[in-house]
Amino acid sequence: MVCSTITVMKENQFETIKQLDEDGSEFWSSRDLCKALEYKDYRNFLTALKRARIACAHSEEIITDHFVDTT
């Protein structure tokens, strides 16, 4: 059951870094996700985010419903 233990650990970690906006909607910081997913270099994670946006578009989802840019 190693796989299920790892899954539970990751789920708990995602809950720990989850944030709520003023409307109560959940969101995650890309910097926090980068660390949680054990990326050593943030720019490599940015490449993964770009691919995720492309996959979102190919799924006919509205990208801005799932990804929000911040400064």
CA distance 66 to 37: 18
Helix (H, G, I), strand (E, B) or coil at 49: helix
13-26 pLDDT, tens digit each: 889 999 999 999 99
* pTM of the complete model: 0.70
Does residue 3 carry a pLDDT above 70? no
- Structural domain boundaries in the chain: 2-65
26-67 pLDDT, tens digit each: 999 999 999 988 999 999 999 999 999 999 999 999 999 999
pLDDT of amino acid 13: 87
Closest among 38, 29, 31, 46 to 9, alpha carbons compared: 38
CA distance 17 to 12: 9
